[in-house]
Copies of this chain bind each other. A is one copy, B any other.
Amino acid sequence: MIDVAHRLRSQGYRLTPQRQLVWEVLRAAHAEGDHLSAEEIHERVSATVADFNVASVYRTLTLLTELGLATEVQLGDGRGHWELAHADDAIHLHCRRCRSVDHHQGELVSRIRSHLHGDHGFVVEDVDVVVHGLCEACAAHPE
């Protein structure tokens, strides 16, 4: 388990209730498989802290990203979605019906890496794979 408090302070950043809460919201969402937009994070934290501002959401997310603790994912709806950072070899399975995002671990991303590395001169730094479609549950009962 990551200790944000320590992680922040060791880099000279302060631990504020806002930052703590954004982090906890991300953690909770992670458990539910949610990939929240800044606005959604704002709403959830606002339930606890009054006068909490969206700008702080963005500032915090930027900071967490720099520290390698959070990641932004582009799901194709124009806005960014955020999640706890994880190994970059995960595929995002995005259900267009219930909006859920599932992570699928696999050798696929590393295969892409080695494939490109072998045949081509392209130096891979980051692989983004987003698969759009219908999750098992939504595919099961059509409508």
Q: Are B116 and A104 in contact (CB under 8 A)?
A: yes
Q: Which residues of chain A (79-134) have a CB below 8 Å from chain B? A: 91, 93, 96, 102, 104, 106, 108, 111-112, 115-116, 120-134
Copies of the protein in its oligomer? 2
- Tally of A interface residues using CB under 8 Å: 32
| Chain B hits for A121, CB < 8 A | 135-136, 139-140
Q: Are B76 and A93 in contact (CB under 8 A)?
A: no
Task: Give A115 to B76 CA distance when docked, in angstroms.
Answer: 23
Task: Give A76 to B71 CA distance when docked, in angstroms.
Answer: 12
Task: Give A127 to B96 CA distance when docked, in angstroms.
Answer: 13
Chain B CB count within 10 A is highest, among A102, A104, A112, A124, for: A112
